[in-house]
Amino acid sequence: MKSRLNARSWRSAVVFLLLLLASSSAMAQKQDAGDVISNPGVIITIVLILIPLLIAVYLVTVKVRALVAKIKIREASAQKNAVLEELKSADADQLSAILAQREKAVSYKLSNHELAGTLPPEDKKGLINQPNQVNIRFVPAKKRSAKRPQVNPALAKMIIWYLGAATLWLVLGTSIGEYLGIKFVSPDVDHVSWLSFGRLRPVHTNMVFWGWSSLAMIGLGYYVVYTVSNTAVKSLSWAWASFWLINASVFFGTISLMAGVNNGGGEYREYIWPIMLLFGIGLAITLGNYLTIIAKRKPKEIYVSNWYIVSAAIFTIVISLVGYLPFWQNGLGETIAQGYYMHQGVGMWFMLFVLGLVYYFLPQQLNTPIYSYSLGILAFWSQILFYTVIGTHHFIFSAIPWWLQTTAIVGSMGMLIPVAAGTTNFLMTMRGNFHKLGTSYTLPFYLVGIVFYFTGSFQGTAEAFRTANLYWHFTDFTVAHSHLTMYGIIAFFLWAFVYTLVPRLTGKEPLHALVGAHFWMALIGMMFYTVPLMIGSTIRGVEWMEGKPFIDTVANMAPYWVWRAIGGSLMWGSHLVFAYNLYSMTRGGGIANQQALVFEQLKKED
């Protein structure tokens, strides 16, 4: 007994020492640069990069198989034509004899009495024939889904205007981003103060944040909240007022930033408060409209999409107050408020709102119910719990209290729960529908959004580790990560929703080849943009840790910035294609709804 106690004591001591060593290495601020490949954050990031690449290979394989099928059909058609030509040149009497013989062979059937005979069986107990027996249901009959209400033409018009304005800001904002990418390669391309990098960079980010993503989400949100509530929008005039207020904030904010009038160093809150107030009022009006619709809903339940959408609007009003009220804008308080504002803007406005839209559009597009309502609620509450405390992980090794940095890292780890729950929910909803990827022009956008929701979010958790921050902090790695999330998740999902909804509102579809061009240019461009930046930034972080001169690390980044410009050019080109696709679905000559045309022609015939 004593020996066992001694053995347990030794084991406890060894485990304690191992934990102590592990914790000391995790909390250390210095690490050998040669350990970069074995760093957990780097390993996780490499694995996550490979996942979308494998998905892209899968999509290419699907397309190639579809092309091979077309070629086989073409060959079969050619063989059919050759057989027809041969039949035309053959003798009629000979063909008739061959056909008669073949018909006799095909029509031959067994009498089914070869073994049993022709006498009826004795079946007094009804073991064979059960004409009056009712089949017992082991699964209750499912309730048929209710028909979707017709979209009010005035509401449809307003939604299209929201999407049109959002697309305009997307093209303008990414045109500026394209120019900034060129400046990385050729920094002396101009010497105009209004076009300097320091002024144009916030113009780019704020225009795609508050102009493109926000307007598109709000417009799509009106359709989803209205549809799942099965009621009418109370005030379209207030919705239009919100539309003009948000557009005015982006317009005046752009002019202000280019003129050098800004809010200081707060990222994503560079608009001065009177301009951002316009956006806040527009968002408050939108929230009021959403709540009124939900309050007057006909179904008893509140569908999970409305949980996400309304919460996103509420959180955004809160974070805007935190970011702009002067109470916390001094010293370290401003830094903490900046981390909260910046990260909550991404996670509790864009991500939360878009996930709410996914919970409606994905199952509706697949004609399949969401896999698990419970997983959706788990993801919702766990995201609110963990995401609201992770903003400080952008300021690791800063003067912010160490315990607050640790809290942010723990919250980042906790974010694996909603990400895993949401990804599982979406993929299981798509289960049995993956074969449709080759014939659908919307599902690839959904799939890419789901994949990057997992990989981009997981990579953000890996980047929060202190050991990974040693390499990546203050480098372009954060730029790559932000594009993996805001572009790979938010933009791809929004494009999926637009291609799903607009044909329903207008009766016109885009040219499918151009949708494919948009998809592949955006996906390949994003990979060209992000992967080289991740590689170059990791190398740069190692060089900093080795004490190399800063200017040398700048020069060494030049090849990776070239790839950034190439990828950005592809992404920008895809946005031009998307803008044309939206135009073709609303005003131009898209593919008309063939079913509707047939019914219109039948009405004319009557």
Residue 124: predicted pLDDT: 67
Cα 216 to Cα 578: distance, rounded to the nearest angstrom: 14
pLDDT (average), residues 229-253: 90
pLDDT band at 115 (very low <50, low <70, confident <90, very high): confident
85-99, 130-144, 194-208, range with the lowest pLDDT: 130-144
The verdict on 176 and 54 lying in the same domain is: no
Domain boundary among 75, 102, 135: 75
**Quick one: 70 and 171 in the same domain?**
no
Mean pLDDT, rounded, for 147-169: 85
The C-alpha atoms of residue 556 and residue 563 are separated, in whole angstroms, by: 13
Give CA 137 to chain center in angstroms: 40
First to last CA, the chain: 99
Residue where a domain terminates, one of 58, 75, 92: 75
Find residue 508's DSSP bridge partners. 592
Q: Which of 560, 419, 383 is nearest to 479 (CA)?
A: 560
Q: What's the pLDDT score for residue 77?
A: 83
Long-range Cβ pairs for the range 183-191 (8 Å, 24+): 184/561, 184/564, 184/565, 185/558, 185/561, 185/562, 185/565
250 or 590, higher pLDDT: 250
Q: Reduced to 3 states, what is the DSSP secondary structure of residue 175?
A: helix
Confidence grade of residue 578 (pLDDT, cut at 50, 70, 90) = very high
DSSP character string of 213-259:
IHHHHHHHHHHHHHHHHTS--S-HHHHHHHHHHHHHHHHHHHHHHHT
Q: What is the DSSP string of 315-372?
A: HHHHHHHHHHSGGG-STHHHHHHHHHHHHHIIIIIIIHHHHHHHHHHHHHHHT---S-
Rounded CA gap, 407 and 415, in Å? Answer: 12
278, 246 in Cβ contact below 8 A? yes
Calculate mean pLDDT across residues 113-118. Answer: 71
Is the pLDDT confidence value at 187 over 50?
A: yes
The pLDDT of residue 426 is 95
pLDDT(69) > 90: no
Choose one of 42, 75, 108: the last residue of a domain: 75
Taking 70 as the threshold, does the pLDDT of residue 139 lie above it?
no
Question: Residue 147 falls within a domain, yes or no?
Answer: no
* Residue 516: other Cβ atoms inside 10 A: 14
Does some domain include residue 464?
yes
How does residue 582 score in pLDDT terms, banded at 50, 70 and 90? very high
Q: How many domains does the chain have?
A: 2
> Which pair of tokens denotes residue 285?
């009006």
For the record, the structure tokens of 517 come out as 């061009």
Banded pLDDT at 24 (limits 50, 70, 90): very low
- Residue 549 inside a domain? The answer is yes
* 552 lies in some domain: yes
Residue 591 DSSP SS3 = strand
Residue 134 lies in a domain: no
Instruction: Report yes or no on 318 lying in a domain.
Output: yes
pLDDT at 135: 47
CA atoms of 510 and 530, how far apart (whole Å): 29
Looking at 60-64, 219-223, 478-482, 585-589, which range is the least confident one? 585-589
What is the percentage of the chain residues whose pLDDT exceeds 90? 47
d(CA 119, CA 480): 81
For residues 192 and 61, state if they share a domain. Answer: no
Mean pLDDT, the chain, as a whole number?
Answer: 83
CATH number of the domain where residue 378 is located: 1.20.210.10
User: Which pair of structure tokens corresponds to residue 494?
Assistant: 């929004």
CA separation for the pair 343, 390 (Å, rounded):
7
**In which band, very low, low, confident or very high, does the pLDDT at 17 lie, cut at 50, 70 and 90?**
very low
**Is residue 288 located within the same domain as residue 428?**
yes
Nearest to 249 by CA among 357, 165, 326: 165
Question: 588 pLDDT exceeds 90?
Answer: no
CA 498 to mean position of chain CA atoms: 12
Look at residue 29 in the predicted model and tell me its pLDDT. 45
145 part of a folded domain: no
Residue 484 belongs to domain spanning: 157-591
Greater confidence (257 vs 432) lies with 257
The pLDDT value given to residue 606: 54
Q: Is the pLDDT confidence value at 589 over 70?
A: no
Calculate mean pLDDT across residues 298-321.
Answer: 92
Residues 472 and 578 in one domain: yes
- Assigned token pair, 567: 């990828």
pLDDT tens-digit map of 406-453: 999 999 999 999 999 999 999 999 998 888 888 888 999 999 999 999
State residue 10's pLDDT score: 46
Q: For residues 416 and 406, what is the distance between their CA atoms, to the nearest angstrom?
A: 16
**Which of residues 11 and 91 earns the better pLDDT score?**
91
Residue 176 identity: I
Retrieve residue 525's tokens: 């461009």
Q: What is the pLDDT of residue 18?
A: 38
By 3-state DSSP, what share of the chain in percent is helix, strand and coil, each rounded to 5? Answer: 75, 0, 25
> Residue 130: pLDDT band by 50, 70, 90 thresholds?
low
Rounded CA gap, 526 and 486, in Å? 11
Q: What is the mean predicted confidence (pLDDT) over 501-526?
A: 91
Q: Is the Cβ–Cβ distance between 481 and 456 less than 8 Å?
A: yes
The answer to the question of residue 31 being in a domain is yes
Q: What percent of the chain shows pLDDT beyond 70?
A: 85
- The answer on 66 and 177 residing in a single domain is no
d(CA 598, CA 593): 9
pLDDT tens digit sequence for 529-577: 999 999 999 999 999 988 899 999 999 999 999 999 999 999 999 999 9
